[in-house]
């Protein structure tokens, strides 16, 4: 393993490590634009120039491999002057867009200019090369060619990660610009990562543009519930409004996020969000809706059933198990959600579109219950007069439930999720509003953490289940989500 010295500190790294990566391990940040740890090395922006003893010129740290006895200096006068020159060069044709640019506050050009340059431009404003602005490319992105510094991260992302190669650099010299290849559309399912990795404001998200300045955003680490991969995300929000999801890169699951997962936050404030109960298609205040649901459960006692859900947390499934065991007092319940799982597209998206099939199976292991096959058979044969379920799980069995004619009481966050024939629906707090434990397809247990608060009166599902049980005369003794899991072992 070669040993080298960076800014007077010795370090030993594996053969093949670049100077930039070795410096990073010592906590020395070498400025960079084109370098990205998950993309091939392009070495085109020259922002990472460093001095290497015995080398006649400055070298690019991102593309220079370490060698035994190398002596590297990252902040000599020569390096500092080179950084200033590179920035001046990159800014020559850059528009003065900062006040209206969405990237302001998280822009590589702004940040490095403040840190390494602050020089006045010697280039006349009227001589700047003008390029196309505000080009809508694909369902999620807008491209401003004038702001591009031609680092080619976007081109390499499409060539190397999604392997769809929609983008290329056209023309030469200061006429160069990023463009779509002829006949291609930019809709590969992962396009919003391009806005994340573009170091400037050339690619921006159509969804997020002009919604909020980034310095107002608060950040909550949580996870995506769009499928069984369970990618780690950061939810960005302000004043109880969610604005966007960005990846929290980690070694186990994800560097990136898929476009579908990114948009899952929108259901929280969608027009069909439920904050009241629904009975026979009409909205009803929460307490009367709970009373109605409890009355129907009491009527169906002996022929009522409870269906868990792979879209619910372990705790909320446990609460449903307690409802079945202690309040409805029925053996007719199931948490048997086996699904084919695994990465479907070679990148992130999972064959299992539900986030917690594995968590539901854990509840099955603790609570028992019917196999899914038996539950479905009994439902179709009309053995259940009433079924309590989570809306999307009920939709999985819609044919059987319809054939058996059971009355359906569902928990739902959005009206659009209600299956046909729902008798009553009760709202609950989404997992952007209440915490919960999920188990992804690899068996990793992860926590969803609340970033915003639920609409007035809307409670987490375990609490709604406790209220429903109380209305039908049973206390489930649920003071917290954790009580539901503990209750299973009582």
Binding site residues, ligand SF4, CB under 6 A: 148-154, 178, 198-200, 202-203, 224, 226-227, 229-231, 254, 257-258, 260-261, 348-350
Q: Measured between alpha carbons, how far is 402 from 465 in angstroms, rounded to an integer? A: 24
Whole-number minimum distance, CB 233 to ligand SF4, in Å?
A: 7
Whole-number minimum distance, CB 363 to ligand FES, in Å?
A: 49
Q: Measured between alpha carbons, how far is 107 from 213 in angstroms, rounded to an integer? A: 12
Binding to ligand FES in span 55-74, by CB under 6 A:
60, 62
C-alpha triplet 374, 377, 381: angle, nearest 5°: 140
Whole-number minimum distance, CB 41 to ligand FES, in Å?
A: 8
Q: Output the six-digit token pair for 159.
A: 């060539």
Beta-carbon contacts of residue 19 (< 8 Å; ≥ 6 apart) = 4, 6, 30, 50, 52, 59, 61, 62, 64, 65, 66, 70, 72
Question: Which residues partner with 305 through β-bridges?
Answer: 387
Instruction: Give the one residue of 11, 45, 245, 408 binding ligand FES; rule: CB under 6 A.
Output: 45
> How far is C-alpha 395 from the chain's CA centre?
24
Whole-number minimum distance, CB 471 to ligand SF4, in Å?
A: 36
φ, ψ at 371 (rounded to 5°): -75, 160
Beta-carbon contacts of residue 32 (< 8 Å; ≥ 6 apart) = 20, 45, 47, 48, 61, 62
Half-sphere exposure for 11 (CA within 13 Å, toward CB): 23
Polymer length in residues for the chain: 490
Beta-carbon contacts of residue 219 (< 8 Å; ≥ 6 apart) = 234, 235, 236
Residue 318 touches which of ligand SF4, ligand FES, none (Cβ within 5-8 Å per kind): none
Q: Classify 398 as helix, strand or coil.
A: helix
- Return the number of the residue (152 or 422) whose C-beta is nearest ligand SF4: 152
- Return the number of the residue (202 or 388) whose C-beta is nearest ligand SF4: 202
Residue 261 touches which of ligand SF4, ligand FES, none (Cβ within 5-8 Å per kind): ligand SF4
Instruction: Give the one residue of 4, 47, 370, 386 binding ligand FES; rule: CB under 6 A.
Output: 47
Whole-number minimum distance, CB 192 to ligand FES, in Å?
A: 23
The verdict on 82 binding ligand FES (CB under 6 A) reads no
Q: Measured between alpha carbons, how far is 298 from 279 in angstroms, rounded to an integer? A: 17
- Return the number of the residue (178 or 242) whose C-beta is nearest ligand SF4: 178
- Return the number of the residue (178 or 324) whose C-beta is nearest ligand SF4: 178
- Return the number of the residue (202 or 476) whose C-beta is nearest ligand SF4: 202
Whole-number minimum distance, CB 58 to ligand FES, in Å?
A: 11
- Return the number of the residue (63 or 75) whose C-beta is nearest ligand SF4: 63
Whole-number minimum distance, CB 13 to ligand FES, in Å?
A: 18
Q: Classify 137 as helix, strand or coil.
A: strand
Residue 485 touches which of ligand FES, ligand SF4, none (Cβ within 5-8 Å per kind): none
Whole-number minimum distance, CB 48 to ligand FES, in Å?
A: 3
Residue 47 touches which of ligand SF4, ligand FES, none (Cβ within 5-8 Å per kind): ligand FES
- Return the number of the residue (248 or 467) whose C-beta is nearest ligand SF4: 248
The verdict on 155 binding ligand FES (CB under 6 A) reads no
Q: Which of 186, 251, 248 is nearest to 219 (CA)?
A: 248
- Return the number of the residue (109 or 379) whose C-beta is nearest ligand SF4: 109
Residue 46 touches which of ligand SF4, ligand FES, none (Cβ within 5-8 Å per kind): ligand FES
Residues that bind ligand FES (rule: CB under 6 A) add up to a total of 12
DSSP 224-271: --SSTT--EEEEEEETTEEEEEEE---SSS-SS--HHHHGGGGGGG-T
- Return the number of the residue (113 or 411) whose C-beta is nearest ligand FES: 113
Whole-number minimum distance, CB 61 to ligand FES, in Å?
A: 6
Q: Residue 180: enclosing H or E segment and its boundaries? A: strand 177-180
- Return the number of the residue (21 or 463) whose C-beta is nearest ligand FES: 21
Whole-number minimum distance, CB 44 to ligand FES, in Å?
A: 6
**DSSP label at 488?**
H
Binding to ligand FES in span 15-44, by CB under 6 A:
32-35, 43-44
The verdict on 2 binding ligand FES (CB under 6 A) reads no
Q: Classify 51 as helix, strand or coil.
A: strand
Residue 90 touches which of ligand FES, ligand SF4, none (Cβ within 5-8 Å per kind): none
In the sheet with 3-6, reading across from the earlier edge strand, the strands are 9-12, 3-6, 71-73, 49-52, 59-60
Question: Which residues partner with 5 through β-bridges?
Answer: 10, 71
- Return the number of the residue (130 or 280) whose C-beta is nearest ligand SF4: 130
Binding residues vs ligand FES (CB under 6 A): 32-35, 43-48, 60, 62
């Amino acid at each position: 393993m070669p040993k080298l010295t960076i800014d007077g500190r010795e370090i030993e790294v594996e053969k093949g490590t670049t100077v930039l990566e070795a410096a990073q391990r010592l906590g020395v940040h070498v400025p960079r634009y084109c370098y990205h740890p998950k993309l091939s090395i392009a070495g085109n922006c020259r922002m990472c120039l460093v001095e290497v003893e015995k080398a006649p010129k400055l070298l690019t740290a991102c593309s220079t491999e370490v060698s035994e006895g190398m002596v590297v200096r990252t902040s000599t006068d020569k390096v500092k002057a080179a950084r200033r020159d590179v920035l001046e060069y990159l800014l020559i044709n850059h528009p003065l867009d900062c006040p209206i640019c969405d990237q302001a506050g998280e822009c590589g050009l702004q940040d490095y200019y403040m840190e390494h340059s602050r020089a006045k431009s010697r280039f006349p404003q009227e001589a700047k090369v003008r390029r196309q602005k505000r080009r809508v490319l694909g369902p999620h992105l807008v491209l401003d060619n004038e702001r591009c510094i031609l680092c080619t991260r976007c081109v390499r992302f499409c060539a190397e990660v999604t392997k769809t190669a929609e983008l290329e650099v056209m023309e030469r010299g200061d006429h160069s610009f990023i463009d779509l290849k002829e006949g291609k559309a930019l809709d590969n399912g992962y396009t919003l990562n391009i806005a994340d990795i573009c170091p400037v404001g050339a690619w921006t998200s159509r969804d997020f543009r002009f919604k909020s300045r980034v310095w107002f955003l608060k950040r909550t680490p949580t996870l995506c519930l769009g499928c069984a991969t369970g990618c780690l995300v950061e939810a960005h929000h302000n004043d109880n409004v969610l604005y966007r999801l960005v990846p929290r890169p980690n070694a186990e699951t994800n560097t990136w996020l898929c476009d579908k997962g990114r948009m899952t936050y929108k259901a929280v404030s969608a027009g069909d969000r439920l904050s009241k109960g629904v009975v026979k298609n009409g909205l009803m205040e929460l307490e009367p809706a709970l009373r109605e649901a409890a009355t129907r459960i009491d009527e169906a006692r002996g022929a009522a059933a409870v269906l868990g859900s792979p879209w619910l947390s372990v705790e909320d499934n446990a609460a449903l198990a307690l409802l079945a065991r202690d309040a409805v007092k029925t053996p007719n319940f199931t948490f048997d959600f086996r699904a084919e799982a695994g990465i479907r597209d070679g990148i992130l998206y999972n064959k299992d579109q539900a986030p917690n099939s594995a968590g539901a199976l854990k509840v099955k292991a603790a609570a028992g219950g019917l196999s899914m096959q038996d539950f479905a058979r009994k439902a179709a044969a009309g053995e259940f007069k009433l079924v309590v379920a989570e809306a999307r799980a009920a939709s999985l069995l819609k044919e059987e439930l319809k054939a058996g004619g059971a009355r359906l009481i569902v928990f739902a966050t959005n009206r659009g999720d209600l299956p046909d024939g729902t008798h009553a629906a009760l709202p609950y707090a989404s997992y952007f509003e209440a915490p919960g434990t999920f188990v992804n397809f690899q068996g990793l247990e992860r926590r969803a953490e609340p970033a915003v608060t639920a609409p007035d009166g809307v409670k987490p599902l375990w609490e709604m289940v406790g209220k429903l049980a109380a209305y039908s005369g049973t206390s489930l003794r649920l003071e917290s989500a954790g009580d539901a899991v503990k209750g299973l072992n009582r």
